[in-house]
Chains A and B, each alone.
Chain A
Amino acid sequence: MARNKQSKVQSLTSKVQCPRVLTLDLDENAEMPKWLAYSLLCLFCWGIFGFLAKLGADRISPGHMQILFTVGMIPLVLAAFFRSQRKVDTDRLGVIYGVLNGVFAGLGGLAYFAAMEAGKASIVGPVTSLFPLLTVVLAVSLLKERMNRVQMFGIGLALVSICILSI
C-alpha cells in the first residue's frame, strides 16, 4: 500500500520535473481540470502583482521597485534552470533575443511602476495589459503572422478604451 503510494508520488514528480515547493497537489478526481486550476492561479498571481506594484510604487521609486522585482524573480529562474536539467541553450541569436527580452522587459517594468505611481491601479492595470496589441501588430508586419478576426476586433476595442480613459 505504502509502496504503491510512493510510486505514484514518484511518477508524478518525474512527470512534473520541477521543485516540489512549486508543485500543486491537485486532486486527480477533482471536477476542475488541472489546466484550469493552473490558469486561475496565474490570473490570481498576476492580479495580486498589479496590486503590489501600486502599493510599492506609492512609496518607493520605480528604480527601487525594479531592483526588488528582479530579486523576486530569482526563484522562478532557478526553477527554470533545474527544469531544463541545468542545461541552457546557447544558440547565439536565441541568447541575443533572450537578453534583449530582459532589457526591454526591465525598461517596461520601470515604466509600469512609474504609471502605477502616477495613476490609479484600477485604470493602469487594464490599460498596461493591452501590450499584446503591439506584439500582434509587430508579428503581423515583421513575421508575416496572421491576425484572426477576434484579435482585429480586440485591437479596435483597445483603441476605443484608451480614448475613453484619456478623457
Chain B
Amino acid sequence: MPGWLFYSLLVVMLWGIVGLLQKLGTNRVSANSLLIWLMAGYILLLPWLLLTTRVSVLTLRDAIIGTLAGITNGLGAWYLFASLENGAKASVAIPLTALNPLLTILLAMIFLSERLTALQWVGIIIAIIAGAMISYETSETSLSQPR
C-alpha cells in the first residue's frame, strides 16, 4: 500500500472517531464548550510533540504557513457554525462545504503543478461526490466536520 494511502486511511479512521465523539459530546455540553475541551486535548499532545521535534529549526515562513493552516481550519469551522445559525439546513450546508477539496485541487494544480492521470481524475471526482453524499444528514444532530 502506498504511504499516502496508508496515512489517508488512518486519517479517515481517527477523524471518523472524532465525528462520533463530537456527537456524543454535544449531547452533554454546548458546541462552544466542546471546542474548548477539544483544545485541551490538542494541548495534551503538545509536550510529546515538542519533545519529539525541534521547534528551533523552523523558519519564519514555515511558522506562518503552519499557523495559517490552523487559522483557516478554525475559521472554516466557525463559518460553518455561523451558516447553521443563520438558518442553513445541515443537509444542504454540510454537503456543500464537503466540496472544499475542489479548491485544494485547483490550488495544487496552479501553484504546485500537480498533474493527475485520467484514472486518478475519475477517482477523486467520485470521492468528492461520495464525501458530499455521506455528509447528507437529514437530522440536525451534528456538524460532521471536526477538523
Residues of A within 8 A of B (CB): 22, 24, 33-36, 38-56, 59-61, 63-77, 79-81, 83-84, 87-91, 93-95, 97-109, 111-112, 114-115, 118-139, 142-143, 145, 148, 150-151, 153-158, 160-162, 164-167
Contact = CB atoms under 8 A, between A and B. Distances in A.
A126 B34 contact: no
A55 B61 CA distance: 11
Interface in B72-109: 72-80, 82-84, 86-88, 92-93, 96-109
Interface in B40-66: 40-46, 49-50, 52-53, 55, 57-58, 62-63, 65-66
Given A98-B29, A157-B126, A42 B97 contact: yes
Given A91-B29, A98-B38, A129-B100, A154 B88 contact: no
A72 B62 CA distance: 13
A157 B53 contact: no
A52 B75 CA distance: 14
Nearest to B107: A51
- If over half of A's interface residues share one DSSP class (helix, strand or loop), that class is named, otherwise mixed; here it is helix
Interface of B: 1-5, 7-25, 27-46, 49-50, 52-53, 55, 57-58, 62-63, 65-80, 82-84, 86-88, 92-93, 96-109, 111-112, 114, 116, 119-120, 122-124, 126-138, 141, 144-147
A7 to B, nearest CB: 21
| The 5 A-B residue pairs with the shortest CB-CB distance in the complex, in nearest-first order | A102-B41, A72-B70, A134-B16, A47-B103, A98-B37
Contact of A123 (B4, B31, B67): B4
Given A39-B79, A165-B124, A123 B116 contact: yes
Contacts of A120: 4, 108, 114, 116
A46 to B, nearest CB: 4
Contact of B28 (A59, A84, A89, A165): A89
Contacts of A129: 98, 100-101, 127-128, 131
Contacts of A95: 29, 37
A73 B105 CA distance: 24
Contacts of A53: 69
Nearest to B131: A129
Given A59-B62, A118-B4, A155-B134, A81 B36 contact: yes
A161 B126 contact: yes
Contacts of A77: 35-36, 39, 74
A106 B42 contact: yes
A132 B123 CA distance: 18
Given A56-B62, A115-B11, A63 B136 contact: no
